[in-house]
Chain A
Amino acid sequence: MYILETKNLKKSFGGVHALNDLSISFAKGKLTGIIGPNGSGKTTLVNVLTGMQAITGGAVVVGGKSLHAIRPEELPRLGITRTFQDVRLFEQMTVGDNIMVVLTARGPYAALTERSERKREERVKEVLEKVGLWEKRHQLAYNLSYGQRKLLEITRVLAMDADIILLDEPFAGLFKEMVKVIVHIIGELKAAGKTVLLIEHNMDLIRELSDHVIVMDAGGLLAEGKPDAVLARHDVIEAYLGE
């Protein structure tokens, strides 16, 4: 059963067709790896799915509903959340507040009367302890190391507890130890039945984590299937080597 689909999805920047008639589907509760050479449209796909960039043509189908425009603020209702390839934290806020801010009331008038609350604070503690950032809770986000920053972004996603999680190169530039931590977290997300889209250039990680692999090239679908089968295909290897 598919929880998220794109139907002839198009995204153009002037003359550049970053997404070119892309029709792909994501199975509920599975981890789909998305690979493809630089500039093949992977990040653009995530930006369009999360409403950060407007759809040029085609549609996104979420939970059976076909959408031609997505407003980012409705993502929690659609059950979608994401990380960013270029880590985006609330830099001049504490590590704790970076998590708290995704747990509080969305409506402005409710937010005005809302103070700190035990339940939310415990949730912040729970997710920060899980990733080992609890000790850093009072530090400003911009004081974290690169690896910790990547980790904090994933923690924010954990706190959101969405059903569909889009991860844009969460391992990029990380040391082995940190990779292990994030592999573990992704394992837990899978065990919890979340639908995960994982964009990643490291083929070993893709092989290890994916239930299904989608290969993008020039904004379109090049190949898809089981990881081992897809990664052995000549056209896939060529697309990567040819870049």
Chain B
Amino acid sequence: MEYLIHLAVMSSIYAILGMSLNLVVGYAGLLSVTHAAFYGIGAYAVGILTVSHGYGFFGATAIGMACAALAAWFIGIVSGRFKGDYYALVSFGFNIIVFSIFLNVQSVTRGPLGIPGIPKPEVFGMLIRSNAQFLLLAIAFTLATYAVSQWIVTSSFGRTLKGIREDEDALRVFGYDTARYKRIIFVIAAMLAAVGGSLFASYISYIDPSTFSLNESIFILSLVILGGLANVNGSVFGAIFFILLPEILRFVGFPPDIAAQMRQVAYGLILVLLMLYRPQGMFGEYKL
């Protein structure tokens, strides 16, 4: 039971990461591979502020979101000058930069030692003790992210994002400052990713840079593609599926240690098969 709850918490966190990245990749069509950077900023904000500065979980989360927003604003301005493959490459670069900050600014982040002892959140004066309680909190944040995402994609803003994805230059001719739209959605997605990071930090209670590497960004991108680009529900599905995949592998008879190794292969294989046979993902409405 305890393990099922653990899987559910992790699925919630990745659902938040997936839904937010889908706004950028699936709707705006920006192949961003830097989401783990914002995930990490949220996690480190909670880690640093709650452990050594006496902040509560929610205050630290808010500051983490603000930091992620600032970073995204800056990254958005620079990467806004690039398109397509170049955009993806530049976003790689930013993930690597942020990762090295986590790793090397040791006076703040403790570098490779990581930050242990991150406290659990306190909600309305009540300290969250069990994983079951934490799951409720995680689900609440996931639902909020779901609501925000749906609200955006069903608005005129959401339609305009799709127009940017389809033909940005043509859309500009019809009066849209597309650069601004791209920056705004990038910032919103980064703030949501930071929330995922806050949850992760306080749930696991220990963070180190390795969780927020380029690999993690690729993992998040993969679950978005699996679930389907430009489909919010798809990202929730993708998150659950990718978190459960190792268990599924175990269930079909792979021994645990091999299942763990098989995982990476399976993720890669799924991506290749998708690109070959179903480029829009399971529930996607848009082909890369």
Contacts and interface: CB of A to CB of B under 8 A. Distances in A.
B174 A101 contact: yes
A90 B165 CA distance: 8
Contacts of A112: 151-152, 155-157
A76 B163 contact: no
Interface string B226-251: 00000000000000000000000000
Contact of B173 (A72, A93, A97): A72
Nearest to B178: A73
B175 A106 contact: yes
Interface in B231-288: 285-287
Interface stretch (A57-65, A81-89, A222-230): A81-89
Contacts of B184: 108
B180 A81 contact: no
Main SS class of interface, B: helix
Nearest to B151: A112
Nearest to B230: A92
A115 interface: yes
A121 interface: no
A110 B184 CA distance: 13
Indicate the size class of the contact surface on chain B: 20 to 34
B229 to A, nearest CB: 10
B67 interface: no
B159 A101 contact: yes
Contacts of A16: none
Nearest to B154: A115
A52 interface: yes
Nearest to B167: A88
A106 B286 contact: no
Nearest to B188: A112
Contacts of B162: 90, 92-93, 97, 101
A106 B170 CA distance: 14
Contacts of A111: 155-157, 160
B39 to A, nearest CB: 24
Interface in B136-180: 151-152, 154-157, 159-160, 162-163, 165-167, 169-178, 180
B181 interface: yes
A50 interface: yes
Given A88-B167, A92-B287, A97-B162, A81 B156 contact: no
A111 B153 CA distance: 11
A205 interface: no
A150 to B, nearest CB: 15
Given A108-B184, A112-B157, A92 B169 contact: no
A81 B167 contact: no
Contact of B163 (A50, A101, A108): A101
Contacts of B151: 112
A177 interface: no
Given A105-B156, A114-B157, A90 B166 contact: yes
A113 interface: yes
A75 B152 CA distance: 26
Interface of A: 50-52, 72-77, 81-82, 84, 88-93, 97, 100-102, 104-106, 108, 110-115, 156, 160
Interface of B: 151-152, 154-157, 159-160, 162-163, 165-167, 169-178, 180-181, 184, 285-287
Given A76-B174, A112-B156, 13 more contacts: A50-B173, A73-B172, A74-B175, A75-B175, A90-B166, A90-B167, A91-B166, A93-B162, A97-B159, A101-B160, A108-B177, A115-B156, A156-B174
Nearest 8 A-B pairs (CB), nearest first?
A104-B156, A76-B175, A90-B166, A72-B172, A111-B157, A114-B156, A111-B156, A88-B170
